[in-house]
Amino acid sequence: MELRHLRYFMAVAEELNFSRAAEQLHIAQPPLSQQIRDLEAEIGVRLFDRTKRRVELTAAGRVFLAKVTQILAQIDRAVEAAQRASRGEIGRLSLGFNSSATYSVLPNLLNAFRERCPEVVLDLHELTTQQQILHLQQQQIDAGILYLPIDLEELEIVSVLKEGMAIAIPETHPLATRDRVSIQAFNRELFILPPALLGSGLYNQITQFFQQTGFSPIAVQEATQLQTSISLVAGGVGVALVPASLQNLQRAGVIYRSLVEPTPEIEIGIAWRKQERSPILQNFIESVREVV
C-alpha cells in the first residue's frame, strides 16, 4: 500500500463521485477506479458500494476513512515539521555564556532570537571562556558568548561588545563620595581577582591594566564568577575591577566608580564551529548580526 492509494481513497470518500475525485486529483477516471480496486483487494474488504447512480462508503469504508484521515493529518504535520526544522524554526539551540554577558549583551541577543524563532528551545549554560571553548570543540554547545581574543582556526567569531572597566567598592568606602577615582588610591586595598588559570579575556585585561599603570594589587581572593566578586565586595572582603556593564547588577552594599586612568577594552564575541551548518545556529547568528 502506498501513500497515494490513501490520498485517492480520501478524494473519492469526500466527493462520493469518481469523476469529480479524478478531477481533484488531476488524473483520469479509469486509473483512479483501478487504484481503488487494487486498494480494496490489498486490504481484503470493499470500501465503496457502487451503482450507476451513486457511490457510498461501506461500513468498513467509514471506519477506514476515520483512520486514514488521522494518518494523513499526521503525515502533513510531519512534513510541515521537517520543513520548519530545515529552516531552523524549531528544534534546540545550546548556548554557552560568561557571567559578564548576563549584564550586557545576553538579554538583547536572546530577545532578538526569540522574535525570529519563538519555538526554538534554548539550552543556556553559564561557563568560563575556557570551558566554552572546550564545549565547542567537543560539540556540547552550538555557540558561545565569551571573552575575546580567541585564536583558534576551527572557530568562527563575531564581536558583539567592547567596553571599559570600572571598580566595585563597598558603599561605605572612603572614596565612595567621588565620581571618578584613580587606581593608585587603592594601593593598600585588598583585591578580588579572576583566577590566573583562566588565562584569557578579563584576567588578561586586568593584568594589562595593572602593568600599564604600574600598579601592584594585593590579592586577597580569587573568584571565577563576577557575581561572586560582587558578593565578596558587599561583604567587605575587598574591591574588584569589573566590566563597566556590571553596573547593571545592583547589589546592596556595593557601588561602582569610573577610573581616571584609561582602561583596556574588554571584548565579548560569539564563537561557533566553522563547519557547523545547523539552520537554527544560522538563524541565531543572523539575529546576532542584526543586533550588532
What mean pLDDT comes out for the span 2-13? Answer: 90
Contacts 24+ apart (CB under 8 A), 10-14: 10/65, 10/68, 10/69, 10/72, 12/36, 12/48, 12/55, 13/47, 13/57, 13/61, 13/65
277 secondary structure, DSSP code:
-
The amino acid that residue 168 corresponds to is A
Closest to 120 (Cα-Cα) out of 254, 278, 4, 253: 278
What is the reported pLDDT for 100? 86
How do 240-243 and 165-170 pair as beta strands? antiparallel
Looking at residue 239, the DSSP 8-state letter turns out to be B
What is the pTM (predicted TM-score) of this model? 0.72
Amino acid letter for position 19: S
Segments of the chain assigned E as strands: 48-50, 55-57, 91-97, 120-126, 143-148, 155-163, 165-170, 180-181, 190-193, 218-222, 240-243, 254-259, 266-273
CA R_g for the chain: 32
Q: Minimal CA–CA distance to 147: which of 135, 130, 164?
A: 130
Q: Residue 170 — pLDDT band, cuts 50, 70, 90?
A: very high
In this prediction, residue 200 carries a pLDDT of: 65
Residues 205/288, Cβ–Cβ less than 8 Å: no
Residues with Cβ < 8 Å from 61, sequence gap 6 or more? Answer: 13, 45, 46, 47, 48
**Which of the two residues, 252 and 291, has the higher pLDDT score?**
252
pLDDT digits over 57-90, tens only?
999 999 999 999 999 999 988 888 788 877 777 8
Local structure of 64: helix, strand or coil = helix
pLDDT band at 236 (very low <50, low <70, confident <90, very high): very high
The residue-averaged pLDDT of 11-34 equals: 91
Residue with cell 590579592: 219
**pLDDT reported for residue 203:** 86
Domains annotated on the chain, with CATH: 3-86 (1.10.10.10), 91-161+267-291 (3.40.190.10), 165-264 (3.40.190.10)
- Average pLDDT of the chain to the nearest whole number: 91
